[in-house]
Copies of this chain bind each other. A is one copy, B any other.
Amino acid sequence: MTTPPPRLSTDQLIGANFSFQHWPLADVARAMQGFGMTEIELWGIAPHLDLFHADAARIDGVRRVLEETGLKLRCLTPEQVLYPINIASGDEAYRQASIARFCRAAEIAADLGARHLFLTPGRGFESEPASRAWDRSAEALRIIAAHAADRGLRCLLEPLQRRESNIAHSAADLRLLLDMVDAETMDVVLDTVAMACAGDSVADYVRLFGDRLAHVHLVDGTPSGHLIWGEGVLPLAQYLQDLAQAGYRGALSFEPFGDGSYALDPMRAWRHNMQAIAAHLAPGKALA
């Protein structure tokens, strides 16, 4: 008699507002509640909660939406690739403003009861050696992680693709950067598209990060593109099985961006993803 392969739990799948940036947040939260979600990743964009308009009224509004829908905030993920935020910039005034904004983001995330603040390495000038950007990134991440830790918050660090950054792209890069930062409270994100673009595997992430792997962005791609399940060529079911086999207990969230058209009908994109993942998850046991 063979044992069925282990599966990740439905409890590990959390909601998010990815693709929903042109809906009011209250409607997004109700949609996520409708999908049976109990936790969400909040992408920090306008008009929901971006770092440039995060005044007390805005934060209170988010808190009210969470309370009304009973959703718990798993992590705050400020938009930091498209928006003018860069903790590794070669422009020092801009970089310091970005660090200050992320320290404030840590306070907001803690205030809203999040477990994690989501970070990326930033990007240096393309006209200078990348090593300088690495140094600036590590220093900034250390400052932000310390500020977050003082408020009881852990951080998450995700690698970017080359077109998004000249700092850390692969799992090995991310390990180097994590060692440079040297903060016990910094965990790691596996984004299936970033992983595939860098030629890495789930096994690489598990080997390099162990329990520090705390968050997974589940997206299809060709290998890039951040597509909904089935519109790309990535073996998402196999990735889920690999994660289950490794005893992964962290969060899973969908991050569909595509070419911008998912945002015209985000419910369609999410229904599609929810249907695709259903068969690959087992009924809930507690999320770590």
CB distance B84 to A23 under 8 Å? no
A46–B57 CA distance with the chains assembled, in angstroms: 27
Q: Write out the residue numbers on chain B whose beta carbons fall within 8 Å of the beta carbon of A46.
A: 84, 86, 89, 91, 94
The segment out of A64-72, A123-131, A236-244, A270-278 that lies at the interface is A123-131
CB distance B84 to A127 under 8 Å? no
A125–B79 CA distance with the chains assembled, in angstroms: 19
Q: Write out the residue numbers on chain B whose beta carbons fall within 8 Å of the beta carbon of A35.
A: none
CB distance A53 to B164 under 8 Å? no
The segment out of A137-145, A259-267, A279-287 that lies at the interface is A259-267
- Classify the secondary structure of A's interface with B: loop
CB distance B91 to A47 under 8 Å? yes
Q: Write out the residue numbers on chain B whose beta carbons fall within 8 Å of the beta carbon of A91.
A: 24, 46-47
The size of the chain A interface, using a CB distance under 8 A, is 39
Q: Is A90 an interface residue (CB 8 A)?
A: yes
Q: List 28 A-B contacts (CB under 8 A).
A: A22-B125, A22-B126, A23-B126, A23-B127, A24-B91, A24-B125, A24-B127, A27-B127, A46-B84, A46-B94, A47-B86, A47-B90, A47-B91, A50-B84, A52-B84, A53-B84, A57-B93, A58-B93, A79-B84, A83-B83, A126-B264, A126-B265, A163-B259, A163-B260, A163-B261, A163-B263, A163-B264, A164-B260
Q: Is A162 an interface residue (CB 8 A)?
A: yes
> How many copies of this chain are found per oligomer?
2
Q: Is A82 an interface residue (CB 8 A)?
A: yes
Contacts A50-B84, A83-B82; A264 near B162 (Cβ below 8 A): yes
Q: Write out the residue numbers on chain B whose beta carbons fall within 8 Å of the beta carbon of A263.
A: 126, 163
Q: A162 — nearest CB in chain B belongs to which residue?
A: B264
What distance in Å separates the Cβ of A164 from its nearest Cβ neighbour in chain B?
Answer: 7
